Amino acid sequence: MRKAQGAVAVDKPLVTATEVRRFDKAVTVRDRGAFLFELDRLVREKLAAATNTTIDKSPLTETLGRKAASLRAATSWAPTAADVQRGRAELLREFERPHNLPLADFVRLAHKSRQQIYKDIAARRLLALDVGRRGQRIPDWQLEAPGLQLTRIVLQAAEDVDAWTVYRSLVEPSEALGSQSPVASVNRGNVDATVRVVLASLGVQRAERAGADA
């Protein structure tokens, strides 16, 4: 049935004599019949080329679709009980590192009241780590101006990023900083440059300098 319809379509002109008159103001047509024939043939060639391109793309689309489907796991990954235990053990080891001070020690060394420290933590002016019922610990690099300024800017720029993720971005070595961690390399002269490195690792863009002053 499709072949019969195709034959009818071939016999029927795609360009009519009336439509050819649209060219009268642009060109002088000496042989209107020949012009109509050539124009009709040109339109058919363009349509055939477009149809072939569409047909040729279909197998590629299907192939890519199959490959994409093969990369998707049948079930979503979920951590086992052993994975959770290992993760928690690692978290506790990091939490108890010497540079992470108990709240009481940080309060004493910072010469601030406990209430002010709590306010700074709540306002994301100070980074604090929490693991269940073990209380909070505060990294000691925030006792120095460059470390505090770096941490405060990152916390406020990355307001939707959790404390542990921010912590990792500050303590892990970075190639951009000569394989040093941001908190180990920051000083009064390179705070802005170090902030850019940290925010890039978090995939965060810094909108403005708000909060840059410690």
Q: Where in the chain are the domains?
A: 2-71, 98-202
Are 87 and 79 in contact by the 8 Å Cβ rule? The answer is yes
> Is the Cβ–Cβ distance between 125 and 155 less than 8 Å?
yes
Q: How many CB atoms lie within 10 A of CB 33?
A: 10
207 near 157, Cβ under 8 Å? yes
Cβ atoms of 143 and 103 within 8 Å: the answer is no
* Angle, vertex CA 169, rays to CA 168 and CA 174, nearest 5: 115
Q: In the prediction, which pLDDT does 7 show? A: 43
Q: How far apart are the first and last CA of the chain?
A: 80
Compute the average pLDDT of residues 189-202: 94
DSSP letter for each residue of 111-151 = T--HHHHHHHHHTTSS--EE-TTS-EEEEGGGGSHHHHHHH
Residue 197 has pLDDT above 90, yes or no: yes
Interatomic CA distance for residues 20 and 38, integer angstroms: 11
pLDDT of residue 55: 54
Q: What is the pLDDT of residue 8?
A: 41
* pLDDT 10s digits, 48-106: 777 665 555 567 667 777 767 766 666 666 667 776 677 778 888 999 999 999 999 99
Q: Could you read off the pLDDT of 146-171 as tens digits, one per residue?
A: 999 999 999 999 999 999 999 999 99
CA dist., res. 176 & res. 107, Å (int)? 33
Q: Which residue has the higher pLDDT, 195 or 35?
A: 195
All residues at 6 or more sequence positions from 39 whose CB lies less than 8 Å from its CB, including other chains: 15, 20
Separation of alpha carbons 35 and 31, rounded Å: 6
What confidence tier does 6 reach under pLDDT thresholds 50, 70, 90? Answer: very low
pTM as predicted: 0.60
pLDDT exceeds cutoff 80 at 128: yes
**Higher per-residue pLDDT: 169 or 11:** 169
